Every structure is written in structure tokens, then in C-alpha cells.
Structure 1
Amino acid sequence: MTFEALEISPWLIEALKNVGIKTPTSIQETAIPLVMAGKDVIGQAPTGTGKTYAFLLPTLSKIDMSSDRIQLLILTPTRELAQQIFENVNQLIKDTTLKAAAIYGGVETQKQVKKIDSGATILVATPGRLIDLMRQGILDVTEIPFLVIDEADQMLLLGFKDELDFLLKTLKLRKQTLCFSATMDKAVKKLAYKHLTDPVEIKSKDEEVHLSLDQKLIQTTDRWKTVALIEQLRTTNPYMGVIFCRTIRRVEKVAGELIREGFDVKPIHGDLSQNVRLRTMKAFKEGVFQYLITTDLAARGLDISHVTHIYNLDLPETVETYIHRLGRTGRMGAEGCVISIVTDKDSEQIKVLEAHLGYSLELVKFERPEDHVDRTHEK
């Protein structure tokens, strides 16, 4: 299958060539013809399968390029993801007359509104900031024809259900709605079927992400988890890796320990300023340092093709979050490795995870080095 066969606009095919994308992924092959045919779509597609282009390519193909009104609204749960999608859009439209704008918290509203007023036809937004501007009378979205809800499961997890209901009721004149989610639980389906018109359900095979990954569990005790992580970092020594912790406090603590051990690592989390987070993300994308240590929320929108290894110092609380973490490596069919440091307390969670995945994960017992001096608990 080729992009030409999917009948997207010729200018988009040229734009794809310029960013090095030659052939569509499975989810793109499935979604694009449906969207081009005007269908509402509910798509289950894990991060890393090419789902962003699965909704961008057909919706951008349908935009009236002679109009300076907003025609496409893309809703995302976090500002990091909004920034990433905004970047993807700009890569595609840079040689056209189309303009895009992004609105999200943490940035001066006036600057964002100025971009919209300059004739933006594509708007990427987080629900909170969007509704704020609507209630102030600054922004009218009632006549936007195309709506995309990205990472709907995370949108609901973060408590945006009421905001989504409000927005979906407000966009009364929309012609088409697309809802994409890495996981598809009852809450996501209920939301979608309530507001979409005769939607077509599509699903990208999970195998595209997680079956191609080398996944293993390293069993140890709470006391030795950081030491086990350090051994894995030294053994694997990837080109680029992301380390996940459950809390901001743990991110900061472990980052300090890794730096003392000589690792090239930087933290990113919600307590850091927007400017610091953006600079850190930019530097990581450019390969300035080897490891990013982060929380799940701060990593939303992390789209870095060269990440080869994911390290879970803490298993996530839900299977859905684990799947989202998987999507940070092995992107677009590339190889990747996921290493989770676990203890006996994680046994039930591992059973649930394996039941969802449909296979057992390799379990390796961590052998404590006899000559290692444990300094991770020193004050």
C-alpha cells in the first residue's frame, strides 16, 4: 500500500517525503480511507503505530485551503502532547498557505490568541484552556467541521469527562469526529457512542508495538531497586533511554543518585517550569544527554524516534499506562527493549498485566553484587 493509493492530497505526499515517511502503517491504511469517506471513527491505536498521521493526513486533505477559519480542532490531554502534534502539523503544512495554532496552559494566553487571529485553520488544544477562551468570548468553535480527540483514555483518566461532554455538545455543526485511544475501555466507548454518528471501530494490532519489544522483569527488593536499575543501565547502555518513576519525589531522588553514579541523565516532571521542561525535551530529542527520567504525565507527547530502551523503576498502576509507556520505544516497528524492576509486592499486578498482554514476561532474579556498597539510602 502507498500513500498515493490512499488518495490523500498530493501536497501531503510531498510533505511526507520531506520528513522521510514513505509507506503507511497498518493503522493509517485502515483509518485514512474511512476518514476520507466521511465516516466517524473510533480508533484503538497504541502510541508508536503512526496514529497521529492516521488522523492528520485525511483531515488535512479535507480542509478548504482558501478559508482562513478554523476547520480542524484536535483535542489532547496535556500540553506536551499538544506541542508535539502542533509540531507534526507544522512539518506537514510548512510549504502551504495553511496556518496552525496551539492553545494550552502554562503559556501567556495573548500570544496564543494572536496566532489564532492571524488566520489559523488548524487548532490543537487542551480542554481546559480551550473552554477558558470560549467562556471569555475570545474563541468560537461552534462551526468547526472536523474534530479529533486524541488519547481519549488519558483525557478521561485526567478528569476531563465534563469538559469533553461540554465541547462535543458545543461543536454542533461538526461534520466528522474521530476518537483515538491507546486503550479502549467502557468509559471511552460510552463517550464515543454518545457523541459520534454511526462510528466505525478500528483497531491497530497491539503486536505492532509490544510483541516486537524485548520485555523483561528484574526481580529484587525495595532496598535494591535502584542498584538493580543501575546495573541494567550499565549492561544495556542504550543510545537513548527513558526511565519511569511513579512520583515526582522519586524522579528527583533517583536522578540525583544516577548523576552521582556518572550517568548522563536529566529529570522532567510537573513541578518544573514550562521553560525548563521544554528545554529538557528539546535537548533530549537532539541527543544532548542519554537518559530522561520522568513521571507518566510529564512524558505525554514524548515522540522521539531514537529511544531504544524503557526502564520502569516502578510498575505503573494500570495496564493502560504500561501500554502507553511501551509506546515510547520500538516506534513505527523499530526494535525496542522494556525493563521493569519489580518486587514480590508486584506479583498480582504482573498477573493482570500478563493476562492483558496474552503472554508471560521473562522474569530474571537480580543477583546483588557482593562488592557493591549500597549508598542509595544515605542521607
Structure 2
Amino acid sequence: MDAFKALGLSDQTLEALTRKGFTEPTPIQEATVPLLLSGESDVVGLAATGTGKTAAFGLPIVELAEPNAGFVQALVLCPTRELAVQVAREIGSLRGSKRLKVLTVYGGQPFGPQLKGLRDGSDVVVGTPGRVLDHLRRGSLDLSELTFFVLDEADEMLDMGFIDDIQEVMSAASPDKRSLLFSATMSRDVMRIAREFMREHEVVSVQGSEEKPLTEQYFHEVPEMSRFDALTRVIDCADDFYGLVFCRTKADVDEVAERLSSKGYPAEALHGDITQGRREKILGAFRKKRTQILVATDVAARGIDVPDLTHVINLGLPQDSESYVHRIGRTGRAGKTGTAVTIIAPREFGKLRWMSRAADVNLPKRRLPSGEDVVNARKSRIAAEAMACLESDNFTSCMDLAATLLEQGDPMEVLAAVLQQANGDRLDPASYTTIADPERSGGSGGLSGNVELFMAAGRGDGLSLQKLLDFIHEETGVFKSKIMDVRLFPKHTTFAAPARDAEVLLRHFKNSDGGRPLIRRDRSNGGPAPKRGGYQRGGYHRNKGRGNHRAA
């Protein structure tokens, strides 16, 4: 506790930290708390999710806020309802016996209790941008005397399109406020917010701290049709699986969760079409571990803060490296180890390699557990659970049945029969199909699998996903449904297509005069764009007077 005391915290706050079991500050807390307690500058804090950012800004707020001031002294904006509730709960636990009123405001809940809380003089308000704006426009929230303005998970909020809301809220706050921006990544939009809306500020970064290796990261490469079976093998071979499974679409989330449930796994689906009431019940069951597997989209999982997750599984690749960092940041937290597993089909290898480089992570390939591995893991769990039951003496109600069965034959055979009856073919390695390590054909030009392609035009040329699909279909007759994994960059685009369709595209855009074709094989695997000069056929390039299909 001496380390916390050295940060300048009062005895009252130290007592609250002791009750919470905190003994040592995390790096972001150690760097940020003294700045906020003693200085006057704004602060930009860069640290991964789960490194103690809430206490980094919550402790100074608790220290400096005055009880019963009669006005809002601190406002914390969060990207999601769940994160707002968690942040408010954390600040409430840090205040100890100090009589600070902490109020949470977010959409999907009635205005009445929130209005009452504001009228009663809340000292700290934690909320989502939309509902905070609603209160500002109603006149029920006054930020004219605000001391602290906090943007938590700023990069997430900007990714969700809240930049205009954030600007409006910041403009309504006292010009004398101190602005605190906390983010896992320093994106261009985050830098813009800091530059335009913060005064002179100090940047505190604990990126690359010792907490990063706590999450073991690797990938399995399997045929597309074996992706779900690969998922169940990862779950089955884990000692005590408790984690998030990420899918790209709502339909994928529903399908995977339903298939897991039908096989007896305690799984639930979470995506944007689920009502707020149902969402809160699902998350409540997940936090209590009644549900051990949560299948979710990126958007639906934002703000979920469960510190004990053992695994994060990417069943579908995220859109970019920043999303990957956010996903895996949900495990390996608060000093605990975690595992992040990415399951890909061969066509996704190039994108995964690019993503790992952009995220600066080492992502080795691992052999997928075999049927024998799964059976051995199941047997180990059954044996451990049986021994725990023996030690607990919690089996007396079955003694009569055990005696009856043992009279019928050899004890070992009787026990084997009981295990067989209870587990069926799950303990038989022969019941598991063989999942072969697939040959990767993405860049080889074979007529099986998918081929990764490069197009010498991007967003800067006015290209969009729809325009790309329309252009390819009009030029070549290749159906839009055949184009997948599209990634639009400022000056180029990469995508994949089944090998036969890719050959159609390559033949169509092949030039007879030696110039570079508009579409060719992508040999960069998501890396920097090759030189663009001299591309022929099909507009979407910057060379004046060339091409017939310039984007509008």
C-alpha cells in the first residue's frame, strides 16, 4: 500500500483500496494519478484494455471532488452502456466513505430515475454520448462548472461514429475543465480530438508493458467447412474454458451459438438485434459463469469487462489490426494469463499475416488438437472431477446403486460401463473426424481455394465496396457474391475470389501492351501498395485520360 500512498492519495482513499484488495498500482495508474493530482495540464493515457485505466482517472476524481457540491464535477463518457455501468461501479467502490453521488445515464432506460439523480445533485456522471446529449438538450444536465471531462475507450467511441456527439458535449462543458482521454490505440481521430479539443496535454503511454505477453496468441488453419469443429476442439482441450468467441456477422453469431448449445455447451449469442433487457440477462449469466461461452460481434462486445476470461477466439477475422488488439485485450488481464486463438481458412492467411504485422504481434501457427487430444483432455477432466467428488464425500446418495452395480460383474468393467453410458462416443477417438492441415492456394494460382487479388484503385479514387462489385460484374460477368474479403485502402484495394473466377478477372485485365493491369495477383499479402504508375484498362486510377470507368 506504500506505493499507492506515494502517489499522493489520502488515507480515506487508501482504506477503500485496501478493502478492494489493491496492493500495487499498475503502470498507467503510477504514471497518471500524480499528474492529475498535482498538475493542471490535460492528459492523454495510452494503455491496453484491462490495465487499470478506470482507477487511473477514478482515483484523482474521488480525491479532488467535493461531496454535496450541488453540481456535476466530473463527466465520464463511455462507448457502451455496459462499460458505463462498470466504470460507475468502480468509481463508487473507490470513494470509500466519502459521500460522493455517482450517477449512470445511458439509453434503453427510462429518463425518470436519471432526471431525479441529476436534480438531487450528482457529483460524478458516467454515461454514453447519446444519452448525455439528450440530457444536455433537455437542460437537465449542466456542465458549466465541470472540473474533469473523461473520454474512456476513446478509440472505440470514434470507431462507433460518436465523434460529432463528443465534440458537442465537449463544447457544452466548462472551458476551465481538465480533459482526460484514455485509449488503447492512438488513431488519427484520437489525435485530432486531442489536438482540437484539449489544452496543453501530456501523453502517458504504457504500450508494450510487461502485461502484453500475458496473453498467448496463435492460430489454427483449417478447411472452411471444418471451422466449427475446430472451435469445439479448442474449447474441449481447455482446462476450464471461459471466454468470448468473435464472429463477423449477426447471422454467424446466431448459428455458432445455436450449434454450440445443441451440443451441450453453455453458450449464448450477443449482437445488436438483442434487446437491452435480454442483453443484460445474458451478460449477468456470463459474469456469474452460468454461461461460459459468449458468441458475439465486435460491436456487441464493446464495453464488456470481465476480468477472468481464459480465452478469446476469433472464429472470423476482425476488420483490422486495431480491432484484433481490442478483441484479445479482453483476456490476459490484471496479472492473469489468457489465450487468444484465431481460426482461419487458407484464403485468410494473407490478411492474418498483414494484421499480425500491423499489430506488432508474433502469431505462430499451431497444430489443431486431434480427436485423441480431445479424448485425453476429457478423460483428465472426468478423473479430476471424480477425485474431487471423492474428497468431498458428496456421493452418499449413490452408494446403494453403486453396490447393486458392483454385484453384477467385475468392478473395472462396471465402472467402464458407467463411463460409457454417461459419455457415449465422446471418449472414442474414432468418433472424431480427421481435420487435415490444408494446402494454402491463395497466391499459387491453383484452381482450388481462393486467390487474393490486388486492384490499383482505392477510396481516394472514389471507389466503394458497391462500386467495386458493380464494376467487376459489368466488366467481366463475375457475380458479386464471388468477391469476398474486400479491403479498401486510400490508393489500392485487395480482395479474394474463387480461383476460377480469379482467372477470369486476370485474363480480362491482362494487357497486351506490357502495362501493369488494373487487377492482378496480390503478392503483398496486405502490405504496402506497389507502385501505381502506368496501369491500364478500367478507370479507377489517377492517370488523366485513361480508362472508361471513372468513379463518380
Tell me the TM-score normalised to structure 2 length. Answer: 0.65
Contact persistence 1:43–1:201 (CA under 8 A): yes
CA apart distance, 1:256: 0.7
Distance (whole Å) between structure 2 residues aligned to residue 249 and residue 179 of structure 1: 35
Q: Which amino acid aligns with 1:4?
A: K
Identity among equivalent positions (%) equals 34
* Of 361-370 and 296-305, the range deviating more from structure 2: 361-370
1:377 aligns with none
Distance (whole Å) between structure 1 residues aligned to residue 361 and residue 331 of structure 2: 19
Distance (whole Å) between structure 2 residues aligned to residue 91 and residue 280 of structure 1: 24
Q: Which amino acid aligns with 2:27?
A: S
Distance (whole Å) between structure 2 residues aligned to residue 14 and residue 239 of structure 1: 35
Contact persistence 1:80–1:298 (CA under 8 A): no
1:70-81 equivalences in 2 (<5 Å): 70-81=72-83
Contact persistence 1:43–1:202 (CA under 8 A): yes
2:529 aligns with none
Paired residue secondary structure (2:299): coil
1:62 aligns with 64
1:98 aligns with 100
Contact persistence 1:70–1:120 (CA under 8 A): yes
Distance (whole Å) between structure 2 residues aligned to residue 174 and residue 328 of structure 1: 35
* Of 264-273 and 25-34, the range deviating more from structure 2: 264-273
2:340 equivalent among 333, 338, 341? 338
1:27-176 equivalences in 2 (<5 Å): 27-36=28-37, 37-93=39-95, 95-176=97-178
1:313 aligns with 315
Q: What 5-or-longer segments of structure 1 have no aligned partner? A: 375-379
Q: What 5-or-longer segments of structure 2 have no aligned partner? A: 372-429, 435-552
Contact persistence 1:209–1:326 (CA under 8 A): no
Paired residue secondary structure (1:252): helix
2:184 aligns with 182
CA apart distance, 1:365: 4.8
Contact persistence 1:75–1:125 (CA under 8 A): yes
Contact persistence 1:75–1:150 (CA under 8 A): yes
1:18 aligns with 19
1:325 aligns with 327
Q: Deviations over 1:59-100 (max 9, x none)?
A: 221112241311000011111111111111222235331111
Distance (whole Å) between structure 1 residues aligned to residue 120 and residue 152 of structure 2: 25
CA apart distance, 1:349: 2.3
Contact persistence 1:42–1:200 (CA under 8 A): yes
1:221 aligns with 223
Distance (whole Å) between structure 2 residues aligned to residue 345 and residue 136 of structure 1: 52
Contact persistence 1:243–1:312 (CA under 8 A): yes
* Of 70-79 and 297-306, the range deviating more from structure 2: 297-306
Distance (whole Å) between structure 2 residues aligned to residue 114 and residue 208 of structure 1: 44
Distance (whole Å) between structure 1 residues aligned to residue 298 and residue 251 of structure 2: 13
Distance (whole Å) between structure 2 residues aligned to residue 361 and residue 349 of structure 1: 13
CA apart distance, 1:269: 2.0
**Greater RCO, CA 8 A, separation 6+:** 1
Tell me the TM-score normalised to structure 1 length. Answer: 0.93
* Of 92-101 and 244-253, the range deviating more from structure 2: 92-101
CA apart distance, 1:328: 1.0
Root-mean-square deviation (CA), in Å?
1.9
Q: Deviations over 1:120-141 (max 9, x none)?
A: 1000011111111211222222
CA apart distance, 1:364: 2.5
* Of 217-226 and 295-304, the range deviating more from structure 2: 295-304
1:155-304 equivalences in 2 (<5 Å): 155-304=157-306
Q: Which amino acid aligns with 1:165?
A: Q
Distance (whole Å) between structure 2 residues aligned to residue 191 and residue 85 of structure 1: 22
Contact persistence 2:235–2:241 (CA under 8 A): no
Distance (whole Å) between structure 2 residues aligned to residue 82 and residue 39 of structure 1: 25
2:398 aligns with none
Structure exhibiting the larger radius of gyration computed from Cα positions? 2
* Of 238-247 and 54-63, the range deviating more from structure 2: 238-247
Distance (whole Å) between structure 2 residues aligned to residue 23 and residue 3 of structure 1: 6
Distance (whole Å) between structure 2 residues aligned to residue 53 and residue 126 of structure 1: 19
Contact persistence 2:325–2:359 (CA under 8 A): no
Distance (whole Å) between structure 2 residues aligned to residue 223 and residue 273 of structure 1: 31
Distance (whole Å) between structure 2 residues aligned to residue 150 and residue 234 of structure 1: 36
Paired residue secondary structure (2:49): coil
CA apart distance, 1:27: 0.7
